[in-house]
């Protein structure tokens, strides 16, 4: 069933309320997880038509500044996979995993995977708050319009690896976290060398995890 404008508006508000609550108190995620999964599952068939054509411009600007090409990349909250495809296209040696809690989104992502990327891009149902991956197993972790779970981000990013958090409409994005907060949370977990980007209507933050001591 097609989502009406009222449901979309409520969805945007719920997404922002969830983001604010979970960034302030990650343990609240358990209350929001089910409703948010249902919400995005319902949006999946229309998701690509709801996204702005330049939605990933800030992500692309940050990727331009990566210090080195990643061999293994993780796209959290991948939705229909757009950011995973961008990363795989840019870095022809990279294996890319896109993760989402909404199976309906992943079904679209799998269906849309270009044949030339299908050997390197896979999609997996998982929760970004408890990822089924080893410590330090990704050289790049991307989040496009996605709630950050900082402890897991720090755990799965390899020392010397990078993370990119992008927001397609800057502070107007329903899922948005203030850059100051992002820097504070990431800085407390060993990330530094922060760089900000603007492109289209959006913003992105690039951060690098420190080398092992």
Ligand X SMILES: C[S@@+](CC[C@H](N)C(=O)[O-])C[C@H]1O[C@@H](n2cnc3c(N)ncnc32)[C@H](O)[C@@H]1O
Is residue 82 a contact point for ligand X (CB under 6 A)? yes
Neighbour-count burial for 122-147, b at 16+ CB within 10 Å, e otherwise: bbeebbbbebebeebbbbbbbbbbbb
- State whether residue 128 is helix, strand or coil: coil
Q: How far is the CB of 106 from ligand X (least distance, A)?
A: 9
Among 20, 89, 124, 129, binds ligand X (CB under 6 A): 129
Residue 152 binds ligand X, judged by CB under 6 A: no
Which of 23, 57, 61, 83 binds ligand X (CB under 6 A)? It is 83
Query: Can you tell me the distance from the alpha carbon of 197 to that of 138, in angstroms, rounded to the nearest whole number?
Result: 22
Q: Angle at CA 110, nearest 5°, toward 109 and 116? A: 105
For ligand X, the closer of residues 19 and 162 by Cβ is 19
Angstrom distance (rounded) from CA 122 to CA 84? 9
Under rule CB under 6 A, residue 141 binds ligand X? no
Using rule CB under 6 A, residue 57 touches ligand X: no
CB of 140 to ligand X, least distance (A): 15
Query: Around Cβ 92, how many Cβ atoms within 10 Å?
Result: 10
Q: Which spans of this chain sit near ligand X (rule: CB under 6 A)?
A: 36, 40, 51, 55, 76-79, 82-83, 99-102, 105, 127-129, 144-147, 175
């Amino acid at each position: 069933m097609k989502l009406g404008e009222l449901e979309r508006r409520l969805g945007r508000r719920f997404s922002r309320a969830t983001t604010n609550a979970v960034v302030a108190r990650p343990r609240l995620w358990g209350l929001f997880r089910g409703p948010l999964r249902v919400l995005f599952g319902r949006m999946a068939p229309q998701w690509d038509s709801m996204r702005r054509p330049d939605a990933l411009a800030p992500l692309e600007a940050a990727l331009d500044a990566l210090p080195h090409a990643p061999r293994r990349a993780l796209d959290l909250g991948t939705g229909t996979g757009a950011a995973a495809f961008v990363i795989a296209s840019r870095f022809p040696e990279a294996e890319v995993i896109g993760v989402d809690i909404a199976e309906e989104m992943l079904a679209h992502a799998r269906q849309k995977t270009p044949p030339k990327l299908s050997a390197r891009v896979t999609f997996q149902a998982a929760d970004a708050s408890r990822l089924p991956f080893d410590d330090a197993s990704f050289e790049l972790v991307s989040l496009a319009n996605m709630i950050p779970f900082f402890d897991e981000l720090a755990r799965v990013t390899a020392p010397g690896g990078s993370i990119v958090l992008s927001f397609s409409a800057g502070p107007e994005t329903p899922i948005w976290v203030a850059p100051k907060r992002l820097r504070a949370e990431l800085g407390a977990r060993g990330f530094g060398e922060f760089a900000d980007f603007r492109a289209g209507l959006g913003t992105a933050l690039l951060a690098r995890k420190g080398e092992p001591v």
